[in-house]
Structure 1
């Protein structure tokens, strides 16, 4: 891909797309965003919904998403404390992109080889 620039604004689209991709890069960020696109989640619910993620990694990924302004974290003054995560309006604007990915997957997903899970915590099957 060539570095595309707009002469008027001198914007290097390659660098801008690299910045955009970095917001969602990380093993769990897209899955977190997909879930939060559906509804508000508590930390424990996210951890249970994402097979293989560790508490440490989930915390780190949530902090990065929050720092980038893609999710918001609400702490309720209760005992025990309750924390909820939801997408911001900025992140909700990614909705059409997520829908396009879901459409692409439903058309081509069966042709993608299944990779064995090799990282993260092992989920006990009972």
Structure 2
């Protein structure tokens, strides 16, 4: 597994565990987060504020199905399972500041709640 793949696992684990300090430390000042179908967040301050409003006492079990990296672009596909059995499927597309830097400049998130039958 590459360093970038390991980093993306850690970054997604930080989301599932509400580790906001880790997430903040690994985004650029000009971060753009497109939460598809919901809103676009621009800048480190707005990004941090959004993370705080999303913070939960619940820790999610993270299931990563695929990580794809190429140059400064990457994609992570998986699911997050809450303690109340709610599941969210996600696919995140990352753009890093440059080829070797592990600072995220853009994040596009596709998230849907999976309905149980």
Which TM-score applies when normalising by structure 2? 0.26
Q: Name the structure where helix makes up a greater proportion of residues.
A: 1
Compare CA radii of gyration and give the structure with the larger one.
1
Which TM-score applies when normalising by structure 1? 0.25
Q: Name the structure where strand makes up a greater proportion of residues.
A: 2
